[in-house]
Structure 1
Amino acid sequence: MKYQLNQSDIYAFASRIGIAVKPRGNEIKFQRCPYCNSSKQDQWTFSVNGVTGAFCCPRASCGAQGHFVELARDFDFPLESIAPRQYKELPRVRLLTSTPAEEYLFRRGIRKEVTRAYGITTNPKDQNQLIFPFYRSAKDADGQVYEKMEFVKYRLIDYDKSRHKAKEWCESGCKPILFGMDHCDPAKSRTLVITEGQIDSLSLASAGIPNAVSVPNGARGFTWVEHCKDFVAQFDTIVVFGDCERGSITLVSEMREMFPNVKIRTPRLKDYLGEKDANDILQSFGEKALRTAVEKAECYQPATIREMADVEPVNLDDVPHFQTLFPKLDHALGGFYEGQLITLTGKRGTGKSTIASMFAVAALWQKWNVLFYSGEMADYEVKRWIDFQIAGEKAIQERVYTASTGYYLAPEQEQQLADWYRHRLFLVDNVAMEEQEHTDLTAELETAVRTYGVRFVIMDNLMTAIDAGENVYLEQSRFARKLKALARKLHIVILLVAHPKKSRASELDSDEISGSGDVANLSDTVIALDRVKQKNDDDTEYLQTLLAVQKNRATGVLVQGNDRIPLRHSRKSKRVYQMGDHGITPFPFDLSKTKAEQTVLPF
């Protein structure tokens, strides 16, 4: 009876081997390749076609491909009408060690008696070809136990990449199992030590470490798991003695995933003594160093988890921050702290961009380099806005037109301002960004921060900063997460301007931010601007801008309801002042003052 492909079999197979899947058209994408285990960069590239059954791994170092029936057979997954895969029967013999094998491994620090015990030999026709036989206990028809060879691996002693295609390879059609299983005895020790290479496990055995095995086909091959689960289950602890590469140890995360109920331990990085693997340690520092590495192996600690007790206490006053020039806001927040994502929201016409540029002026005054992104204003408009805010009313001159009054700065004052913030104030060039086909805005921000020493980034605004596509909420969430990660990673402050949803509420809160709720959830601080009707003494009405703090992770102090901060906007200078019982709070600097009076003006 011929097997009929059923997509439910593909999903059942993925579930059995513990790999996440997701459909994409006719393809069923696997988070990682079952053969090579993929890498983080190659996740979701392995796929099985749900119509034809064809599977493929596009990684050049793997390239596994075929039909789903072959995939199921390779991992002993039962399919209706399909017989289990038949593996090659190897000779029922115990290989005798050859002299070249003994001598080569002895030069690698491995005792000759260990080489003989494991039956390591060489090809009689090619003494350069080392042979590693893989045995496991089996019973014959009479119930007699014997050591059955199930897998064979080859390695070239004097490998030369200019002359040879491969350094190692496996006998085709054999059942993959762990090397050294026949030398393990869980009755003597409940700890199994697993290495990446056969010479590494032989090194451990040579150092007198019991139950040392190695995987058959490298750190990314796990076809052996289905055939060795019962064997591994005999042990309480696994010491994963993988290769030390770029500060991490191979095999560890995969072993935790494959065997979640077994305690996983690893040698400490410092016990690798600067070497790559167990054999390198043996050759450089001897057997005692290997025994120490295994004895002092620690429970595997994920890189993303740490002991709370190890967290250094931090005084908020010691975290770099700057004041906002709004005293009541600074009293509530303490200022803007590095590592924060701050969201500023408010309805159209409440002055979000104006307040944002005010924060930029405050940062510049306190010697923080600033990067400004504006998706709505032209570059000259952003410059004029900030220039006027720095200069102040008295320095700005008026020009009367037919129907209106215009404002401008004298050329020498504009030059004075440009000289002051040169090399400290930067702007994202929208024209240049649009000319690039594939631009990652957050990557551009990171480059600018690192290149120019930027510490405060203003993103005005969220909707113009993302390529919304079909799923605008998803893109907003992703962008906010990237900004949050960037703020923490680079120790900077990021201010994100976001529009609110359409609402008739008398006061905006963090839930009113338009789009994905992740924007407010990820923000450390949410500042909201409202425009409310107020009455003068003569009962005439006017609109008053109020500033509220709807979220504040730093100090927990909120500014809401009747406590909201009233603001006054200067049409002439674009400045926004805080109002209080004693009138407006003045700025600490003013360009119009004489040089003798400019004690705090940083020009």
Structure 2
Amino acid sequence: APAEAVPAAAPATPRSRNVRSMEERRACEERLGQVVEKMKKEGIDMSQWRLGTFQRTICPQCEGGSTEERSLSVFIREDGTHGNWTCFRANCGWKGYTQPDGVPKAYQAKKDSGNENESDQEVKANQPVKVIRKLREEDLRLEPLCDELVTYFSERMISAKTLRRNNVSQRKRNNKIVIAFTYRRDKVLVGCKYREVSKKFSQEANTEKILYGLDDIKQARDIIIVEGEIDKLSMEEAGYCNCVSVPDGAPAQVSNKLPDKDHDKKYSYLWNCKEYLDP
């Protein structure tokens, strides 16, 4: 008897590209929703969440310090597979990483091993290259310290002579008179940090980070490094001119191993002053 014919299986119904894209979109939206909710539980909240780009907001851990600086950098991948954040205030440094449920932690493993995929490299490639500003004295409109600020320093046992030698000045900034600590290398202006009497700080943006008082250690055999500019001035009053201060205060934590120059952003001022510090 002839073999019974087996009916051919019906061809699978083709799924349109629109159907697949809708499913992918829903899955992506679900992942993004989870990442955002997890960040909110950490205290991170944005007025508007943008994907695939770095955003700045106030850090919930340090609250931006006395200046309420928007120091927390937040990033969420466009596909919602992860989000991360870092506070760039030197005395905070809070950072974290989160993923939606059910997503393997492959990206974190790649990140730790240095094996990033093309998408990760593309994110890095699209980050703007920081251009270092060259400051000019006339642009900052610095002025000699007024009598009130000279008195402010004298109450801290810092003389007018020391202030003049260190080029401590004042400037009107945001409708306030602020103290201006000028950062110089070979007497050339490199950066400027401002301090209000209320101890709120700000700096000229996109300038090279160096130590304050750098020229004072050019020929020094022993070097004293302190936390702030006023500490450096106080050391000079005590007879120690071989002293510099760091530009961003003392950090909350340090790495267990020395990173290379290109990745060591927090201590870039040490790399930039390496020739002064090498024995």
Q: Please report the TM-score for the alignment, with normalisation by the length of structure 2.
A: 0.47
Larger strand fraction of residues: 1
Q: Please report the TM-score for the alignment, with normalisation by the length of structure 1.
A: 0.24
